[in-house]
A and B are shown apart, each in its own frame.
Chain A
Amino acid sequence: MAVVAQSSKFNRMFWPILAWGIAIVFFFPIFWLIFTSFKTDADAVKPDHLFWFKPTFDNYLNMTENYDYWRFAINSVITSTFATVLALVVGVPAAYAMAFNPTRRTKDILLWMLSTKMLPAAAVLYPMTFLTKNFLDIYDTHFLVILVLCLINLPIVVWMLFTYFKEIPREIIEAGKMDGVSTWGEIKDILIPLAWGGVASTALLCFIFCWNEAYWTVRLTTTEAATLSKLIEGNRAPEGLFFGRLSAVSTAAVAPIIILGWFCQKQLVKGLTFGAVK
C-alpha cells in the first residue's frame, strides 16, 4: 500500500509540473517576441540587456512612422472581413442544400471541394499574375485579395457549415416547409439561429486563415492592398539591427488573432476536424 500511495503522490506532483513546463516552453517564443518589443533596438541585441533593461514604448509609438503599420492593418481587416462574409454568403446556401437535400453526388462534391485546396498555389501563380495584371487589371486591389482569400477558404467553410448543419434534425426544417416558409426564410429564421454557434466559429476560423495567409497576399499585391503578412515579410531585418521595432510590429500583427483564438479555442476544434472527432 505504501508503494501505491507514494507513486500516486509522485504522479500528483510530477505530471502537472511537466505539463506546466512544456506549456511554458511552447509559449516562450511568443513571450520573447512581446518582451523584445519593449526593448530599444540597441538593447535587443546586447547580451547584458537580455533580461534587465529599461522598458520603452517607443517601438509601438513609432510603429506608424517606421512601418506605416495602420495602412497594412486596415488592409488586413478589410480583406479578411469581406472575404469571410463573401465565403459565408456563398457557403451557407451550398452547405444547406448539401445537408438537407443530399444526393448520391453530395459526398463527391464535398471531397472534390477539399481537393481544390490541395492544388498547389504556386502551380497557378504565373497565370494568376498574368490574368490579373494584363487582362483584368485588378492586380494589387482589395477586390482581388478578397476574392482569392474567399476562394481558398471556401472549401473549408462549406465543409464546416455542412458538419454543423447536419446535426440539426431534419424534421425542424421540414416543419418549416409545411408551414409554407420560403427557402430564404428557412435559412434566415430557422437554420442560422439554430446553428448560430457553428456559423460563428466557421466565420472565425475563416477570418484567422485569411489574416494569416502569406502566399497570395504577398504575391498578388505591391502597395495598395498589401496586408500585414506582406509588411512582415518585407521587413525581416536580416542584420538584426531592428529587433526591437520588428518585434513591436510583429506583436501588433499577431495579437488580435491570438486573443480571438483564446476566446474560441473550444468551438474551433469541432470545425477543424470537420466533425469527425466527437
Chain B
Amino acid sequence: MSKRTLPRLLQAPAVLLLLFWMLIPLGMTLYFSSIRYVLNSLRKPEWTTPSLSNWRGLGNYEYVLFNAKDFWFAVQNSVFIVTSIIILTVVLGLAIAMLINRSFPGRGIVRVLLISPFFVMPAVNAVLWINMILDPVLGLNGLAVDGLNALIGGLKDFPVLGAFFSLWPEIEPVSFRATQTSAYAVIIMVTWQWTPFAILIFMTSLQSEDQQQKEAAILDGANAWSQFRNLTLPHLARPIAIVVMIQAIFHLSLYAEIEIVSRGNGNKNLPYLIGDFVNNNIGAASATGIFAVILANIVAIFLLRMVGKSLMD
C-alpha cells in the first residue's frame, strides 16, 4: 500500500456518501424537470408516471420563469429575507458584543441569557412568536396595544390634557399573519434566534483584540468611533465573513418558520414554492429546484471564495 492510499481510503466513506447524497437526488431532479410529471391528472393519466416519453425539454423551466405566478416573487422574497436577517444580526451582534466586552457584575449570567435563543428549535421558535407574542388578539402584541388604548382612553378624561389625547386615534395591533407582514414576522423570529450566534462569535474575537494598540490609540487622542472604525472593525472582518456565510447557508433554506407563520401566504421563498408545486406538479417543482440550486451556487461562489482563503491558514 503506497503512502497515498491510506489517507484516501480514510476519506473515501465521507466523500462517497456526500457525493451520492448530492448526485442521485440532483440527477433525478434534473430528469423530472425535463419531463411532464404530475401526481393527479384526469385528462392525461399518462403524465402521472415519470417516463421519457413525456419529454418536455425546457418547457418546465419556461413555465416556471414566465407563467408560474409566484416564482419571481419567491426569488425576491428569498433574497429579501436572507439579506435582512444577515444585516440585522450582524449589526445587533456587533453592538451587543461590544457592550458586554467589559467586566461587570453578572456578566456570566448575561452571556447565558443572551445565548439561549440559539438553542431553541425552529418549530418552537415560530410557534412561540407567532401565537404567544405577535398574535394581534391573544398574544402580547394584542394585549400591549389594548393596554395602550385603555391608557389613552383614561387620559381623555383629564381636564386640559384630555383635549390633546382625545385627538389620538385608537391604535390597531399589527397582524403578523397577513400577506404584507408575514415576512417581517419570520425576519423577527430568525433574527432573535441568530443574533446570539453573531454575539458569541464577535465576543470571542473581541477578546483577542490587541489592547496595547488600543491604548496607544487612546493616548493619541483617537475617539471611540475612530478606534472602532480603524482598529476593531478590521480585526472583526473575518468573523463577520463567517457569520454571513453560515447564516446564508442556513437561511436560504428557511422552511418551518414560513410554514408555521402563514403557510406561505404572502411570504413564499424558493423552498416553500417548491413545496407548493410538489403537491401536484413535480415537473415544475423540479425546475424550481434547479433554479434554487443555481441561486444557492451564486451565493456560495461569492461566500466560499471570500471565506475559503482565510480558513486555511
Contacts and interface: CB of A to CB of B under 8 A. Distances in A.
A138 interface: no
A12 to B, nearest CB: 8
Contacts of B6: 97, 101, 183
Nearest to B6: A183
Contact of A122 (B32, B111, B249, B275): B275
Nearest to B50: A130
Nearest to A115: B300
A19 B140 contact: no
A154 interface: yes
B149 to A, nearest CB: 12
Contacts of B275: 122, 125
B226 interface: no
Given A120-B252, A123-B292, A94 B15 contact: yes
A202 B126 CA distance: 27
Nearest to A261: B119
B127 A18 contact: no
Interface stretch (A21-29, A58-66, A168-176): A21-29
Contacts of B196: 26
A90 B252 contact: no
Given A97-B10, A158-B14, A272 B255 contact: no
A97 B104 CA distance: 45
Given A93-B13, A253-B124, A116 B18 contact: yes
Contacts of A228: 121, 123
Contacts of A117: 249
17 contacts: A20-B106, A23-B109, A26-B113, A29-B132, A47-B143, A94-B15, A97-B10, A101-B3, A107-B312, A120-B274, A123-B274, A123-B289, A237-B131, A240-B138, A253-B121, A254-B119, A254-B120
Interface of B: 3-4, 6-8, 10-11, 13-15, 17-18, 21-22, 24-26, 28-29, 32, 96, 99-100, 102, 104-107, 109-124, 126-133, 135, 137-138, 140, 143, 146, 192, 195-197, 200-201, 204-205, 208, 238-239, 242, 246, 248-249, 252-253, 255-256, 259-260, 270-272, 274-275, 278, 282, 285-286, 288-290, 292-293, 296-297, 299-300, 304, 307-308, 310-312
Interface of A: 15-16, 18-20, 22-24, 26-27, 29-30, 32-33, 36, 45, 47, 50, 90-91, 93-94, 96-98, 100-101, 103, 107, 109, 111, 113-131, 151, 154-155, 158, 183, 208, 211-212, 214-215, 218, 228-229, 232-233, 236-238, 240, 243, 246-247, 250, 253-254, 257-258, 260-262, 265, 268-270, 272-278
